[in-house]
Structure 1
Amino acid sequence: MDGNDVKPTGGCPVMHGGNTGNDKPVTKWWPNALNIDILHQHGARTNPMDADYDHREAVKALDYDAVKADVKALMVESQEWWPADWGHYGGLMIRLAWHSAGSYRMQDGRGGAGSGNIRFAPLNSWPDNASLDKARRLLWPAKKKYGNALSWADLIILAGNMAYESMGLKTFGFSFGREDIWAPETDVYWGSETEWLAPSEQRYGDLDNPSTMENPLAAVHMGLIYVNPEGVNGQPDPARTALHVRETFARMAMNDEETAALTCGGHTVGKAHGGVAGDDIGVEPEAAALEQQGFGWANADHQGKAANAFTSGIEGAWTKEPTKWDMGYFDYLFNYDWELTKSPAGANQWAPVNMPDDQKPVDASNPAVHKTPMMTDADMAMKVDPIYNEICQKFMADPDYFADTFARAWFKLTHRDMGPKTNYMGNDVPAEDLIWQDPVPAGNTSYDVAAVKAKIADSGLSASDMIATAWDSARTYRGSDKRGGANGARIRLAPQKDWAGNEPQRLAKVLGILEPIAAETGASVADVIVLAGNVGLEQAIKAGGHDIAVPFTPGRGDATDEMTDAASFDVLEPFADGFRNWVKKDYAVSAEEMLLDRAQLMGLTAAEMTVLLGGMRVMGTNHGDADHGVFTDRKGQLTSDFFVNLTDMAYSWHPVSDGTYEIRDRKSGAIKFTATSADLVFGSNSILRAYAEVYAQDDNAEKFVRDFVAAWTKVMNADRFDLLD
């Protein structure tokens, strides 16, 4: 497996249950109600910053070197209230950064370190994050000093980087620029379990086949970042654990070599904590009393000693010198036999056989005492699994290669959800372009846009074909990890050109006309695709009786196959698109839930979702030119007819056996229209109906067009990070 080989995952590709109910004050009474709140969770109501605050501008003013120096100095400033292991907080800060970034999963791009979400429930109270509340409080002086420009999201990852550097690793780089959220991410589905660390069977079709884990999940239990360190369901078996490690890390976008590097490099420093009984540990932060002030996991036996801290329940260091980047992890793992034992807290772990005391690490609080090191079941998997073992042998033969491989994998882990390099800020941004950053070359901005529009208009393409192609190109964007979108025109490359949702035959026909126009005019294909969508939209607007221009900004580039990690784009394939009234096949979740999921990933508000869907219907852009939801006698014109007819009480609505609906004239009983649930939800859901009624009003016909154009432009420019500066 090469450095860019990430295998696809199996199972249902869409979110289960994340868009309904969620025990909100209203929806808890109606658990099947569509939860529209996820489209508005990070709006002005939660954000305390001034309306004109520009985080990118604030970050530019940071003294990057001063911030790094302060954070690095903090590593060895041990506090009496939470003493550092061996006088160094490096291991704790690495764990904080790792667990912040490690919640990322490739399937939907959610989780990860990009928003500082570990500050909020449920992540701040996951069992796997025990005592990381202390790590964040230790960082507070730096956050307080540098203020708004230093986000928690940046600071947490920077702390991990500075920890590694202070212990001797040359890191690959670091970027500032992450912007904090101010409320929990209610859009993220972490699983259906109702208890922490519930048996893994609840999220697998077959526990012996890790690929059957429910998508889009990556961790093996509710409340864990990745795998159970004691073994599958807490039962030690390194060979079996290796299979789950491989699947989990693949779902985090890591191949085998990156997985081995992260596991070995992550455990080259620091220690696990389980030296006291777990039964004596208090509740998590979200359940703690007021006087705890956001702290959780109270430890009566701590006694101001680092060695008495409690996190996973596993106890011990992995190396002889846990505050130094070296090859000690491999020395221990491969030069000793290991036997199964228990930590003082009762957790399963592995201990070396016949290790002399002078080869053991000293106690984290008392250097006069030597303590037995340990390995987790995941560590033993590196030795037992033949693929991981071979990789580790390669690392041991070339320590510099190991350090470089780890540094790159760590950089990928902590930056994967930042999107393209145009979002990176600071003086440690690597110059090298990495394929997982989805690089796109700069596009031409000096061509004659009007001339290109004229050629497109004379091309013979229908407005619906132009609009649908532009939409399909742009709809892949997901704000969760800032991947996808129209920039790069990857819709013409594998795998996107062959996706069923993109109607490959129709797409090939359209591209066969647009690509020569790009070549003739000097415009990028990406620009021409979007511009063609705008031309088709303006034609539909004019046909509907309005004269409103659609904004366009040139400068998109065209990616190549060499710039595209095709396997990692498989997860961006749409398995449903409510905006084009299409579902690939029957899924456990409804069409309207999948519509809501896509709208949230695209960064749309409920109003934007509403206006876009209604407009796409009447312009005739349904997948396969289907008639469902085309509530108009003026197909091809951008009108508010979808909403006018949806809310017209002259009609009644009737389910059909195939899951569709008929809209009939009440008097005659004649079938007027047909629909899917993704259409009728805009009349049945009280919130969406309120938006639909706005656009159905006689005085809002022009507002509908203006709002559609604004929302369309937002979608087309969603990935234009080059326009932010």
Structure 2
Amino acid sequence: MKTAGGCPFHHGGNTAMDKPVTKWWPNALNLDILHQGGARTNPMDPDFEYKSEVQKLDFDAVKADVKALLHDSQDWWPADWGHYGGLMIRLAWHSAGSYRLADGRGGAGSGNIRFAPLNSWPDNASLDKARRLLWPVKKKYGNKLSWADLIILSGTVAYEDMGLKTFGFGYGREDIWGPETDVYWGSESQFLANSEERYGDLDDTSTLENPLAATHMGLIYVNPEGVNGQPDPLKTAAQVRETFKRMAMNDEETAALTCGGHTVGKAHGRGAVDQIGVEPEACTVDSQGFGWANPGLEGKASNAFTSGIEGAWTQHPTQWDMGYFEYLFDYDWELKKSPAGAWQWEPVNMPEDVKPVDASDPSIRQNPMMTDADMGMKMDPVYNEICQRFRKDPEYFADTFARAWFKLTHRDMGPKANYVGPEVPSEDLIWQDPIPEGATDYDVNAVKAKIAASDLTPAELIATAWDSARTFRGSDKRGGANGARIRLAPQKDWAGNEPERLQRVLAVLEPIAAQSGASVADVIVLGGVVGLEAAIKQAGSNVSVPFTPGRGDATTEMTDAESFEPLEPLADGFRNWLKDRYSVSAEELMLDRAQLLGLTANEMTVLVGGLRVLGVNHGGSRLGVFTDRIGALTTDFFVNLTDMDLSWHPAEDGFYEIRNRKSGEVKWGATSADLVFGSNSILRAYAEVYAQDDNKEKFVKDFVAAWTKVMNADRFDLT
């Protein structure tokens, strides 16, 4: 019995979130990123497939409903000029704008803006209102329409309603059901901390810490007031260029997005910052997730507060037109402070009748404004030249923007096979990583026989298949074995792919593909099948490895080589390799790769243990190869890792030695990516399963299942 006033809970299990394992032991390997968004968090039925459900949608009706709500101003959050277009565009933009090319994480593909930390970033202030405005549409169409699709659709429909001919739209984004714990947004302990924390040298934008793209914690791009809040358009333009480059946007796309994004809508900064409430995640329960409370709103759109900058960019902010360029280039601009105290640029001597009307009261005209990034479009010579070209050719500007908007909002959906709906463009775009359809009518067994009869070893075949497939990133659905881009630049020259060995293997496999009518992509994967089945047989088992034909071969013309550079593996714990020494451990890098491949902790464990004994380590390294039967798919890695007749000792250069306890004889060498499977309590639990005498067959079956999952990770045609 608890005494009066005492807490009736023990604060154990899932009620005690203030003392996670990593708080007590900060160096412990946190495996949570491999298990986020699993069955326990997903409320949908196990057989629910969004890609099938969304095809049942009445696409015209959805668009009509979204268009209607754009003009239905609500008292609790009034629309600027009676039109929610600017707000919905900002919602879609900020949902998509968190994407970065380095690791493919962020972006609009999962509806992650609904969850922390993105839902409470300063840059996303009051976008919680936009989501609530969309709720009636989401509620009406239910499971057939994901939040992720609806958010991007709302911005696209808003542009159409304002007069832009959009490039198209693809449904198919599947919602997640909780925060993405795998995304590194920066090391800062507070939002909008000075940029120095992210840069090696603030004057050299290329020194922005990887994989980050935004200049501050809590922003999707750059500080609109200037570098560290200090206006300097040329410096801001340099940061804009680097940030958008890290989203795979070139200068023309960047200028189009900046100018087209600011052709409509307005910024909000009327009122005192200290009167604005806390963000959604910091709110009390009675707020019901509504953040940034504004006691001065008084039912007026012009009193809304978001960034602290105040004003529209054009005279007609609910119309797609060329007004942005007219304002920017036809007037001189001077620095001023917004009502909320933020730096912004305002026109000098602009006639009253040219100014935009107030967002709430059409009888009042207000000064327009430009951010420091906007002034960068004018003052940076490259951006200026592009903008002048746009100004001279409105149709070219509209088309360039429409294409850039489509890229921005679809970049992380992967190939077109993932797009659904009647407005999917027929044109193949290079950033979609197009792959031609592959053949399926060739004799698979005949191809396997030719591979087996070649002089290639099982280890060479397995390593090549693995290297081809391991580039897949579930974050943005890029990479993988389909397309056989491992034979093209830049992948053919990556150190992790052992170019000399790769070319030797391809020299054998490519003629086999040509003779059989199969794609090189299929033959590479089939080579892995041949190698694995030989290793399984050598271990005394008889398990077949599944294979589904149909991969195609991409060409150099289909490959955006520059945007593939960030996919280069700098480490591969599965093949026990590091390109260099890094500030993070080998096991952390292995965990990151496993998460991008969509593996669970158990699948990661079984793959590492199997690949070690198969002898496919990079460069033929023997580190972690805990077996005397190299090449046979045995459980020896786990048996010897857990053998208490052995002991483990640090050695030179950060490696380890495994010795016989009695004799002191060194039996094997190891890396931390090997020993973590015995030291981490969770991974050890998995390792012990496979070390058991009764699980030899289970190990082979589990390895084959995990291997096949990796080989088929990019087979969107199979889903």
Q: TM-score band (shorter)? A: over 0.9
* TM-score normalised by the chain length of structure 1: 0.97
Q: Secondary structure at the match of 2:244?
A: helix
* TM-score normalised by the chain length of structure 2: 0.97
Q: What residue is the counterpart of 2:563 in the other structure?
A: 568
| 2:676 aligned to which of 672, 678, 681 | 681
| 1:98 aligned to which of 93, 97, 106 | 93
Q: What residue is the counterpart of 1:315 in the other structure?
A: 310
| 1:197 aligned to which of 187, 192, 196 | 192
Q: What residue is the counterpart of 1:593 in the other structure?
A: 588
| 1:607 aligned to which of 602, 608, 612 | 602
| 1:85 aligned to which of 80, 86, 89 | 80
Distance in 2, matches of 1:239 and 1:164, equals: 29
Which deviates more from structure 2 when the two are superposed, residues 410-419 or residues 29-38? 29-38
Cα deviations by residue, 1:172-229 (Å, 9 ceiling, x for unpaired):
0000010000010000000000001011000100000010000000000000010000
Cα deviations by residue, 1:473-515 (Å, 9 ceiling, x for unpaired):
0000000000000000000000000000000000000000000
Distance in 2, matches of 1:349 and 1:32, equals: 44
Distance in 2, matches of 1:594 and 1:108, equals: 12
Contact 1:580 1:616 (8 Å CA) reproduced: yes
| 2:385 aligned to which of 387, 390, 397 | 390
Cα deviations by residue, 1:239-266 (Å, 9 ceiling, x for unpaired):
0100000000000110000000000000
Q: What residue is the counterpart of 2:134 in the other structure?
A: 139
| 2:530 aligned to which of 520, 529, 535 | 535
Contact 1:663 1:671 (8 Å CA) reproduced: yes
Q: What residue is the counterpart of 2:701 in the other structure?
A: 706
Once the two structures are TM-superposed, the CA of residue 24 in structure 1 deviates from its matched residue by 6.3
Q: Secondary structure at the match of 1:453?
A: helix
Once the two structures are TM-superposed, the CA of residue 461 in structure 1 deviates from its matched residue by 0.6
| 1:336 aligned to which of 327, 331, 338 | 331
Q: What residue is the counterpart of 1:643 in the other structure?
A: 638
Cα deviations by residue, 1:317-338 (Å, 9 ceiling, x for unpaired):
0000000000000000000000
Is structure 2 residue 696 aligned with structure 1 residue 696?
no
Is structure 2 residue 445 aligned with structure 1 residue 450?
yes
Once the two structures are TM-superposed, the CA of residue 116 in structure 1 deviates from its matched residue by 0.2
**Residue identity matched to 2:105:** R
Contact 2:73 2:82 (8 Å CA) reproduced: yes
Distance in 2, matches of 1:383 and 1:209, equals: 21
**Residue identity matched to 1:69:** A
Once the two structures are TM-superposed, the CA of residue 586 in structure 1 deviates from its matched residue by 0.5
Once the two structures are TM-superposed, the CA of residue 33 in structure 1 deviates from its matched residue by 1.0
Q: What residue is the counterpart of 1:4 in the other structure?
A: none
Contact 1:64 1:426 (8 Å CA) reproduced: yes
Distance in 2, matches of 1:417 and 1:72, equals: 25
Distance in 2, matches of 1:468 and 1:252, equals: 31
Q: What residue is the counterpart of 2:269 in the other structure?
A: 274
**Residue identity matched to 2:564:** F
Cα deviations by residue, 1:602-629 (Å, 9 ceiling, x for unpaired):
0000000000000000000000000000
CA pair 417-102 structure 1, distance change in 2 beyond 3 A: same
Distance in 1, matches of 2:579 and 2:59, equals: 48
Q: What residue is the counterpart of 1:472 in the other structure?
A: 467
Within 5 Å, which residues of 2 pair with 1:382-531?
382-531=377-526
Q: Secondary structure at the match of 1:658?
A: helix
Distance in 1, matches of 2:18 and 2:464, equals: 39
Distance in 2, matches of 1:73 and 1:33, equals: 52
Once the two structures are TM-superposed, the CA of residue 73 in structure 1 deviates from its matched residue by 1.1
| 1:116 aligned to which of 92, 95, 111 | 111
Once the two structures are TM-superposed, the CA of residue 23 in structure 1 deviates from its matched residue by 7.5
Is structure 2 residue 175 aligned with structure 1 residue 180?
yes
Q: Output the aligned Cα RMSD.
A: 0.7
Is structure 2 residue 25 aligned with structure 1 residue 30?
yes
CA pair 550-23 structure 1, distance change in 2 beyond 3 A: farther
**Residue identity matched to 2:426:** A
Distance in 2, matches of 1:299 and 1:459, equals: 73
**Residue identity matched to 2:43:** P
Distance in 2, matches of 1:587 and 1:27, equals: 21
Q: What residue is the counterpart of 1:558 in the other structure?
A: 553
Q: What residue is the counterpart of 1:54 in the other structure?
A: 49
Distance in 1, matches of 2:448 and 2:165, equals: 51
Q: What residue is the counterpart of 1:285 in the other structure?
A: 280
Contact 2:105 2:476 (8 Å CA) reproduced: yes
Contact 1:491 1:497 (8 Å CA) reproduced: yes
Where in structure 1 do 4 or more consecutive aligned residues deviate above 2 Å?
none
Q: Secondary structure at the match of 1:170?
A: coil
Q: What residue is the counterpart of 1:634 in the other structure?
A: 629
Contact 2:21 2:28 (8 Å CA) reproduced: no
Cα deviations by residue, 1:575-598 (Å, 9 ceiling, x for unpaired):
000000000000111100000000
Distance in 1, matches of 2:552 and 2:629, equals: 36
Q: What residue is the counterpart of 1:10 in the other structure?
A: none
Distance in 2, matches of 1:291 and 1:304, equals: 20
Once the two structures are TM-superposed, the CA of residue 541 in structure 1 deviates from its matched residue by 0.3
* Alignment coverage as a number of residue pairs: 703
Once the two structures are TM-superposed, the CA of residue 657 in structure 1 deviates from its matched residue by 2.3
| 1:68 aligned to which of 38, 56, 63 | 63
Is structure 2 residue 633 aligned with structure 1 residue 624?
no
Q: Secondary structure at the match of 1:198?
A: coil
**Residue identity matched to 1:626:** S
Q: What residue is the counterpart of 2:9 in the other structure?
A: none
Contact 1:643 1:692 (8 Å CA) reproduced: yes
Within 5 Å, which residues of 2 pair with 1:158-307?
158-307=153-302
Once the two structures are TM-superposed, the CA of residue 25 in structure 1 deviates from its matched residue by 1.7
Once the two structures are TM-superposed, the CA of residue 672 in structure 1 deviates from its matched residue by 0.5
**Residue identity matched to 2:279:** E
Distance in 1, matches of 2:21 and 2:290, equals: 30
Q: Secondary structure at the match of 1:142?
A: helix
Distance in 2, matches of 1:86 and 1:400, equals: 26
Contact 1:176 1:425 (8 Å CA) reproduced: yes
Question: Any unmatched runs of 5+ in structure 2?
Answer: 1-16
Contact 1:199 1:233 (8 Å CA) reproduced: yes
Q: Secondary structure at the match of 2:659?
A: strand
Distance in 1, matches of 2:480 and 2:123, equals: 34
Contact 1:23 1:31 (8 Å CA) reproduced: no
Once the two structures are TM-superposed, the CA of residue 699 in structure 1 deviates from its matched residue by 0.6
Distance in 2, matches of 1:243 and 1:63, equals: 44
**Residue identity matched to 2:501:** R
Query: Percent same amino acid among aligned pairs?
Result: 79
**Residue identity matched to 2:20:** P
